[in-house]
Chains A and B, each alone.
Chain A
Amino acid sequence: MSLIKKGAEANLYLEDFSKVLHPAGAGKVIVKHRVSKEYRVPQLDLRLRESRTALEARLLADAKVAGVPTPAVYEVDRTGMRLVLEFVEGERVKSVLDKLKPAQRHKLCRLIGMQIARLHKAGMVHGDLTTSNMILTKNGKVYFVDFGLGEYDRSLEARGVDLHLLKRALQSTHFRIADKAYAAIIAGYRDELGKSADDIIRRAEEIERRGRYVPREERTWT
């Protein structure tokens, strides 16, 4: 198996469908293996890997039903901590977003916003919305991947955190265009979710203000 990405919590391998699943199958699959972390105490290590593997498989499937492109889940191995997933060909949004023309970027960001809204409407949050976790395919679809920190959570707070995290990811990785990109994402989000989006957007702003390093109430005297 060839290692294509050594992520923070899992290794991704690219493998032939025929070798992993069925000899009659063609094409490639991704094997996502949640490796044990030596730095963690074994009980915690097991708990995190097991729950994230099982939950991720369910979230990937449910997101697809909700109208958000995700890789198909072919197999869930809860003892080996492996998922076998469809291999999605495309480019990470991380590496294309800064290069796009403003109009195209706007369109892409709106679509991302709409898809986040669909996830939220279906009772899910992604938990790690960054542009590294979005794959743009040739036909213009945006696949959301890596639901390892996702949850079933309909609360205002969880949805607000989801939006806030994406904003922070844009600010750290795409700082030149972060504000415009986020505004377009929010526009798409509101389009899809309607009026109920307003409370969530307000909550995301509140979470930002709640943060530890946010200027507020600073006295004028120094």
Chain B
Amino acid sequence: MICLGIEGTAHTFGIGIVDSRGNILANVTKTYLPKQGGIHPREAAQFHAANAKTALVEALKSAKLKARDIDLVAFSAGPGLGPCLRTAATAARALACWLDVPIISVNHCIAHIEIGRLIEGAKDPVTLYVSGGNTQVIAFDAGRYRVFGETLDIPIGNCLDVFAREVGLPHPGGPQVERLAREGENYIPLPYVVKGMDLSFSGLMTEAVRKYKDGADLRDICFSLQETAFAALVEVTERALAHTEKREVMLTGGVAANQRLREMMRLMAEEHGARFYVPPREFCQDCGANIAWTGLLAYTHGARQRLEETVVRQRWRTDEVDILWR
């Protein structure tokens, strides 16, 4: 069976093609870059619509397949930005109708975990999923992916991006902050907020901006911002690991590209004797292959949907989805 997956939850429009043995035949992504400021949902959606056809043609070409070879269409139904989700859903429905093949909606967060399990061979990890739109600590238990910790306000990627914008660094801010942080030497105390297993980054972000306005060295602030925010993320993951007594840790999402976060997570995993996994960058970021593989897993384990059930859900929770394949 060959599944084509469409990703479109935020700034990336992606088409991936996988077969039922887990071979990734194509993975094409088109990424919207705002001219100024952050992601504008409507502009991002228009970008997706404008790039959908090219992405599809490129994906089929790279997989050396004809459209008729596709047996199943999967798409990201949430969580994400409404206009983007609806655009990707429309593309998926049109394609499924035209090809007369089944369609299946996929939870974006779960897709990140499943591609990691496929590619890295992790069996049952505690996953820290960190991106511009999401921050969750997730572990599997009794048929569902349970959320052990999550942000109470803004995601970590958003915290870094908005901070960067406020101090005049270009979008996306994460890599800029990371680069400057490497040159920082002095740790400036910033609010460290862990509430049980949950996190909060809005106060941290505001305070970091204030320190900048008060004249502190930007490199030191970037360093301190990363150290404080990441320590909180790693602590919550560590708590989930201790609580669930699992033996594997996985880091994924766009912020997984950050080398310092990787190092901290690796040190934590080692201390607990757990194996540590980070999927390759291509699959940490949003892409169609994640969606295609997860849709294929669901379909081959009995999930079915009628077209009118393929509704998008901007705030679709990870722990609402029954995982039929585990």
Contact = CB atoms under 8 A, between A and B. Distances in A.
A38 B192 contact: no
25 contacts: A8-B243, A38-B271, A40-B227, A40-B264, A43-B189, A44-B187, A44-B231, A48-B192, A128-B196, A161-B196, A168-B196, A168-B197, A171-B319, A172-B141, A175-B144, A212-B134, A212-B135, A212-B155, A212-B315, A213-B147, A213-B317, A215-B316, A218-B313, A219-B82, A222-B89
A161 B135 CA distance: 18
B228 A44 contact: yes
A36 to B, nearest CB: 10
Interface string B79-104: 10010001001000000000000000
B39 to A, nearest CB: 16
B148 A172 contact: yes
A168 B198 contact: yes
A27 interface: no
B196 A9 contact: no
B196 A130 contact: yes
Interface stretch (B21-29, B233-241, B289-297): B233-241
Given A8-B239, A127-B196, A165-B198, 15 more contacts: A6-B272, A9-B238, A37-B267, A37-B268, A37-B271, A39-B231, A39-B265, A43-B187, A44-B227, A165-B197, A168-B196, A214-B315, A214-B317, A218-B315, A219-B82
Nearest to B90: A222
A140 to B, nearest CB: 25
Given A127-B196, A129-B196, A41 B238 contact: no
A9 B232 CA distance: 12
Nearest to A43: B187
B150 A39 contact: no
A23 interface: no
B1 to A, nearest CB: 27
Interface of A: 6-9, 37-41, 43-44, 47-48, 127-130, 132, 149, 161, 165, 168-169, 171-173, 175, 207, 210-216, 218-219, 222
A169 B151 CA distance: 15
Interface of B: 79, 82, 86, 89, 134-136, 141-142, 144, 146-148, 150-153, 155, 187, 189, 192, 194-198, 227-228, 231, 234-235, 238-239, 241-243, 263-265, 267-268, 271-272, 311-319
Contacts of A6: 242, 272
A93 B243 CA distance: 13
Residue picked from A9, A130, A173, A215, most chain B C-beta under 10 Å: A215
Q: Interface of chain B, helix or strand or loop or mixed?
A: mixed
Contact of B243 (A37, A40, A47, A132): A132
Contacts of B79: 213
Contacts of A127: 195-196
Nearest to A128: B196
Given A39-B267, A132-B243, A218 B314 contact: yes
Name the 4 nearest CB pairs between A and B, nearest first: A39-B264, A165-B196, A8-B239, A8-B242
A211 B108 CA distance: 18
B284 to A, nearest CB: 20
Contacts of A38: 267, 271
A44 B229 CA distance: 11
Contacts of A7: 242
A207 B187 contact: no
A207 B153 CA distance: 10
A171 B146 CA distance: 8
Contacts of B134: 212
A172 B244 CA distance: 10
Contacts of B147: 168, 172, 213
A40 B192 CA distance: 12
